[in-house]
């Protein structure tokens, strides 16, 4: 069965949904908390570290502060936690249970009982990730509402599951399913062991399915913050999108785009969106292309530590993507020759198409999924090809035994053209 069909699309209403299990009980978000407050919004918009333009330079804004409707028929089953419950669940927000920190605040590991909101002993019940908004949060209440609003109603194997929330005085917390392997960012850039090629493909495909689901629903959603730190991984490297704080309802009917304030993360946002504020699902496709390049190269989308011509990944990679003979020079050197030859060709071509300057020429996420799906089964590893060519040469030249062993240095020296064992051209 196609994963895309596994998702659940509740009709999106622009408001935080109530827990159906506890409707009309105290276990729902108080209505007053749902009204967007101009002061809060202004603080968020001015202070967000992810905003690309200061508010007064923003190109039009339809990020409307409409209060959400009161008739929410969504089937979401979010739990409402008390602050005390989450404090106990995380061992008083112990520093050693911190999983990470983002613009919203710290994310803690915690445990809750299987049925309900009660805290559980560490190692028992259900493991959760608790995200707490900084008291003086940069991204603030508005993102918190968007997160509950979208994730409370969208259900798909490639979207992280929001279990519940806490809203108490100034406290804003979110409770998610715990993703054992953390973020793709950690695996690509912070670990010494390189992420194997097959896992990279699996992760890219899962994330693509998540985006395809968002774009393909009756009321499309544009994610707007697609990046490696927002792709979380379970124990089997299944990827799930997290962070819907910047998500936005897509254009409806005859409309080609929504006009909105430019938010996102440097290095990932589509150029036409940054220039005009016109948002379409193709903006997400561009960001997907950037992430695909990061997966292929092991380089960050923006890296100030690199020489000036290499700091912006897309700018650096474009000439390689456009030249089939140079493709292999893009591959993460830490993979050595442990990658699929055809896979690299297809992934590079796909990244190139996703990064097309004309948004209309970019593929849809459904098309991306179709390209990535067969790449999971490719076994044409560059190292096998290298060995077989070495042995052919060896037979021709009657080389002594043992010359087929590939040393580290050898593998690095031929990285630019893995099919070359001499003067042969790279196909
Ligand atoms: N559900 C989860 N399970 C396990 N780890 C998580 C979970 N959610 C977040 N994390 C960890 O916490 C880190 C911080 O997440 P967070 O979403 O707050 O910030 P970010 O994505 O790094 O940055 P930004 O605020 O710009 O989105 C993640 O990179 C990840 O390592
Ligand atoms: Mg995040």
- 232 Cβ below 6 A of ligand 1: yes
**Considering every ligand atom, which ligand is closest to the CA of 143?**
1
Same domain, 318 and 266: yes
- Please give the pLDDT value at position 403: 41
Cα of 350 vs its chain's centroid, Å: 17
Say yes or no: 164 and 289 in one domain. Answer: no
CA atoms within 13 A on the CB side of 327: 24
Both 148 and 86 in one domain: the answer is yes
- Per-residue pLDDT for the chain (427 aa), expressed as one digit of tens each? 344 444 555 434 444 444 333 333 333 333 222 222 223 222 222 223 344 433 333 322 334 333 333 333 333 589 999 999 999 999 999 999 999 998 788 999 999 999 899 999 999 999 999 999 887 655 578 888 888 988 888 999 999 999 999 999 889 999 999 999 999 999 999 888 999 999 999 999 999 999 999 999 888 999 989 999 999 999 999 999 998 878 777 777 777 777 776 677 889 999 999 888 888 999 999 999 999 999 999 999 999 999 999 999 999 999 999 898 999 999 999 999 999 999 999 999 999 999 999 999 999 999 999 999 999 999 888 888 777 777 887 777 765 544 444 444 444 434 445 554 433 333 3
Given 145, 177, 209, the domain boundary residue is 177
- 144 inside domain: yes
Residues involved in catalysis: 225
Please give the pLDDT value at position 372.
98
Q: What is the pLDDT of residue 164?
A: 96
pLDDT of residue 279: 86
Tens digits of residue pLDDT in 200-254: 999 999 999 999 999 998 889 999 899 999 999 999 999 999 988 787 777 777 7
| In-domain check, residue 424 | no
Structural domain includes residue 27: no
Question: Residue with the nearest Cα to atom 20 of ligand 1?
Answer: 102
- Statement to judge: residues 242 and 280 lie in one domain: yes
Of 154, 177, 200, which marks where a domain is finished? 177
Quote the ligand 2 centre to 243 CA distance (angstroms).
5
* pLDDT for 136: 65
Predicted pLDDT at 333: 96
Q: Are residues 149 and 248 in the same domain?
A: no
The CATH number of whichever domain residue 225 belongs to comes to 1.10.510.10
| Cα separations in angstroms, 83 against 17, 138, 218, 358 | 19, 20, 36, 47
Is the same domain home to 269 and 132?
no
Distance from the alpha carbon of residue 246 to the mean position of ligand 2, in angstroms: 10
Whether pTM > 0.75 for this model: the answer is yes
Query: Based on the domain organization, do 236 and 94 belong to the same domain?
Result: no
Annotated binding residue at 87? no
Among 196, 233, 190, smallest CA distance to 332 is for 196
**pLDDT for residue 289:** 98
Full residue range of the structural domain in which residue 365 is found: 182-384
Examine the fold and report which residue of 128, 161, 177 is the final residue of a domain before the chain moves on.
177
Ligand 1 atom with least separation from CA of 179: 3
Say whether both 146 and 294 belong to one domain. no
Q: Are residues 346 and 228 in the same domain?
A: yes
Same domain for 246 and 380? Answer: yes
* Ligand 1 contacts CB of residue 183 (under 6 A): yes
Domain count, the chain: 2
Closest-CA residue, ligand 1 atom 24, reads 102
Which of these, 118, 119, 115, lies nearest to 90 by C-alpha position? Answer: 119
Please write down the HEC assignment for all residues of the chain: CCHHHHCEECCCCCCCCCCHHHCCCCCCCCHHHHCCCHHHHHHHHHHCCCECCCHHHCCCCCCCCCCCCCCCCCCCCCEECCHHHHHHHCCCCCHHHEEEECCCCEEEEEEECCCCCCECCCCCCEEEEEEECCCCCCCHHHHHHHHHHHHCCEECCCECCEEEEEEECCEEEEEEECCCCCEHHHHHHHCCCCCCHHHHHHHHHHHHHHHHHHHHCCCCEECCCCCHHHEEECCCCCEEECCCCCCEECCCCCCCCEECCCECCCCCCCHHHHHHCEECHHHHHHHHHHHHHHHHHCCCCECCCCCHHHCEHHHHHHHHHCCHHHHHHHCCHHHCCCCEHHHHHHHHHHHHHHCCCCHHHCCCHHHHHHHHHHHHHCCCEHHHHHHHHHHHHHHHHCCCCCCCCCCHHHHHHCCCCCCCCCCCCCC
Residues 113 and 135 in one domain: yes
Q: Is 178 in the pocket of ligand 1 (CB under 6 A)?
A: yes
Same domain, 266 and 147: no
- In a domain, residue 163? The reply is yes
């Amino acid at each position: 069965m196609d994963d895309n069909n596994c998702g659940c699309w509740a009709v999106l209403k622009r408001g935080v949904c109530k827990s159906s299990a506890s409707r009309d009980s105290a276990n729902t978000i108080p209505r007053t908390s749902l009204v967007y407050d101009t002061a809060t919004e202004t603080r968020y918009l001015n202070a967000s570290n992810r905003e690309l333009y200061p508010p007064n330079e923003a190109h039009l804004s339809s990020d409307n502060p409409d209060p959400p409707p009161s008739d929410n028929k969504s089937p979401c089953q979010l739990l409402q936690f008390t602050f005390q419950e989450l404090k106990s669940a995380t061992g008083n927000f112990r520093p050693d249970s911190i999983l990470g920190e983002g613009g919203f605040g710290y994310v803690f590991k915690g445990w809750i009982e299987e049925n309900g909101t009660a805290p559980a002993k560490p190692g028992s019940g259900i493991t959760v990730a608790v995200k707490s908004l900084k008291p003086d949060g940069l991204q603030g209440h508005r993102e918190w509402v968007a997160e509950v609003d979208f994730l409370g109603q969208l259900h798909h194997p490639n979207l992280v599951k929001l279990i519940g929330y806490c809203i108490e005085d100034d406290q804003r917390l979110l409770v998610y399913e715990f993703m054992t392997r953390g973020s793709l960012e950690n695996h690509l850039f912070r670990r010494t062991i390189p992420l194997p090629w097959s896992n990279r493909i699996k992760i890219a495909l899962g994330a693509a399915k998540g985006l395809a689901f968002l774009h393909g629903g009756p009321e499309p959603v544009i994610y707007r913050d697609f990046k490696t730190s927002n792709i979380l991984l379970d124990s089997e490297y299944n990827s799930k999108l997290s962070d819907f704080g910047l998500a936005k309802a897509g254009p409806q009917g005859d409309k080609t785009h929504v006009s909105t304030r430019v938010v996102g993360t440097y290095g990932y946002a589509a150029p036409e969106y940054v220039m005009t504020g016109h948002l379409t699902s193709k903006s997400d496709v561009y960001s997907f292309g950037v992430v695909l390049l990061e997966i292929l190269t092991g380089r960050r989308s923006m890296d100030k530590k690199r020489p000036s011509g290499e700091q912006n990944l897309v700018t650096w990679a474009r000439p390689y993507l456009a030249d089939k003979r140079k493709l292999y020079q893009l591959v993460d050197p830490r993979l050595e020759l442990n990658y699929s030859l055809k896979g690299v060709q297809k992934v590079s071509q796909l990244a190139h198409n996703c990064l097309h300057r004309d948004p209309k020429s970019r593929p849809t996420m459904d098309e991306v999924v179709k390209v990535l799906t067969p790449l999971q089964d490719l076994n044409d590893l560059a190292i096998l090809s290298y060995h077989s060519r070495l042995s052919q040469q060896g037979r021709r030249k009657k080389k002594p035994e043992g010359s087929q062993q590939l040393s580290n240095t050898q593998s690095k020296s031929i990285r630019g053209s893995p099919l070359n064992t001499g003067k042969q051209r790279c196909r």
